[in-house]
């Protein structure tokens, strides 16, 4: 057991301040355990959100020493023995109380995305897909909706462009639909316009913080941006499509995207 210093942001939407707590920390503890100990011994009214304590529900997101992290997956032994640990709510979203933020804007973005639209079945009644295409979208389905990527994306965090950009979490949801081998919707115009793909300048900060190690930028956002460029800015592709009467690129990599 060792004594550690925690600075925890306390307050609400009207403002707040950091309060310091000295806590006895046992071997094997994660930051969430320490916050629970503070809650039990020093600050019964400390508000924080958690559910699974296993890195799977996405509820315990906060900023720990300035980095967006899941508190249940942040081990105490990664910090130097004399290091003060500063814990604060996600900066990108409004604070409700202490470490709890209002992430409902994200739910609204989710609702704006048109749902999966499967193409008609083949003549024999089947829906055939190449394994390669299935594997590609499977990565995006690992998302636990922790919104750490949304928190760190400078377009939302520093430029407050949530009027024009849906954020990395929903870019990969759009990618999971746009790249789905059975989806028949033409999503490229709205990915460009309504969802703001052009605002992402591929800094990869979102990929760095994703606890599910989803390659958000390289596997999700960049392919979407490429499809937008092909559609709107590549003169050869535009003329080719016009001559051949092709409405859009095929969605499938296996079919020769």
- The residue ranges that bind ligand FES (CB under 6 A) are 50-53, 55-60, 70, 72
CA dist., res. 232 & res. 253, Å (int): 20
Check binding of 113 to ligand SF4 (CB under 6 A): no
Minimum CB–partner distance for residue 36 and ligand SF4 (Å): 22
> For ligand FES, which is the closer residue by CB, 52 or 78?
52
Q: Tokens for 176, please give them.
A: 């999971």
Residue 212 interacts, among ligand SF4, ligand FES, none and using kind-specific CB cut-offs from 5 to 8 Å, with ligand SF4
Minimum CB–partner distance for residue 17 and ligand FES (Å): 25
Residue 205 interacts, among ligand SF4, ligand FES, none and using kind-specific CB cut-offs from 5 to 8 Å, with ligand SF4
Minimum CB–partner distance for residue 54 and ligand SF4 (Å): 14
CA dist., res. 196 & res. 92, Å (int): 18
- Binding segment (CB under 6 A) for ligand SF4, from list 27-35, 111-119, 141-149, 189-197: 141-149
CA dist., res. 129 & res. 254, Å (int): 9
For residue 35, give the H/E element and its range: helix 31-41
Q: Tokens for 60, please give them.
A: 């315990």
Whole-number CA gyration radius for the chain = 22
Residues 76/43, Cβ–Cβ less than 8 Å: no
> For ligand FES, which is the closer residue by CB, 186 or 212?
212
DSSP string over 46-97? -----S-SSS-S---EEEETTEEEEGGG-BGGGS-TT--EEEE--TTS-EEE
> For ligand FES, which is the closer residue by CB, 88 or 162?
88
Check binding of 25 to ligand SF4 (CB under 6 A): no
> For ligand SF4, which is the closer residue by CB, 42 or 190?
190
b/e sequence 172-200, b meaning 16+ C-beta within 10 Å: bbbbbbbbbbbbebebbebbbeebbbebb
- Segment 174 to 213, residues that bind ligand SF4, using CB under 6 A: 200-206, 209-212
Residue 148 interacts, among ligand SF4, ligand FES, none and using kind-specific CB cut-offs from 5 to 8 Å, with ligand SF4
Strands 85-88 and 2-12: parallel
Minimum CB–partner distance for residue 13 and ligand SF4 (Å): 23
| Residue count (the chain) | 257
Minimum CB–partner distance for residue 49 and ligand SF4 (Å): 14
> For ligand FES, which is the closer residue by CB, 30 or 95?
30
Residue ranges in contact with ligand SF4 by CB under 6 A: 143-149, 152-153, 155, 168-169, 172, 200-206, 209-212, 214, 216-217, 221
């Amino acid at each position: 057991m060792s004594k550690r210093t925690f600075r925890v942001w306390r307050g609400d939407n009207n403002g707040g301040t950091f309060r310091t707590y000295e806590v006895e920390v046992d071997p094997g503890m994660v930051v969430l355990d320490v916050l629970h100990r503070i809650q039990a011994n020093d600050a019964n009214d400390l508000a924080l959100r958690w559910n699974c304590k296993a890195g799977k529900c996405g509820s315990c997101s906060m900023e720990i020493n300035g980095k967006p992290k899941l508190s249940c997956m942040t081990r105490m032994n990664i910090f130097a023995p004399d290091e003060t640990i500063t814990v604060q709510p996600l900066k990108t979203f409004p604070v409700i109380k202490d470490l709890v933020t209002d992430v409902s804007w994200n739910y609204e973005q989710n609702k704006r995305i048109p749902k999966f639209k499967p193409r008609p079945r083949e003549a024999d009644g089947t829906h055939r897909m190449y394994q390669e295409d299935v594997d590609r979208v499977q990565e995006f389905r690992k998302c636990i909706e922790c919104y750490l990527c949304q928190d760190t994306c400078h377009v939302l965090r520093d430029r407050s462009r949530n009027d024009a950009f849906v954020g990395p979490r929903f870019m990969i949801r759009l990618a999971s639909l746009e790249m789905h081998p059975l989806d028949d919707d033409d999503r490229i115009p709205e990915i460009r316009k309504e969802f703001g793909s052009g605002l992402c300048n591929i800094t990869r900060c979102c990929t760095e913080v994703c606890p599910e190690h989803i390659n958000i930028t390289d596997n999700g956002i960049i392919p979407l941006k490429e499809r937008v460029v092909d559609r709107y800015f590549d003169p050869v592709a535009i003329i080719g499509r016009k001559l051949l009467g092709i409405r859009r690129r095929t969605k499938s990599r296996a079919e020769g995207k």
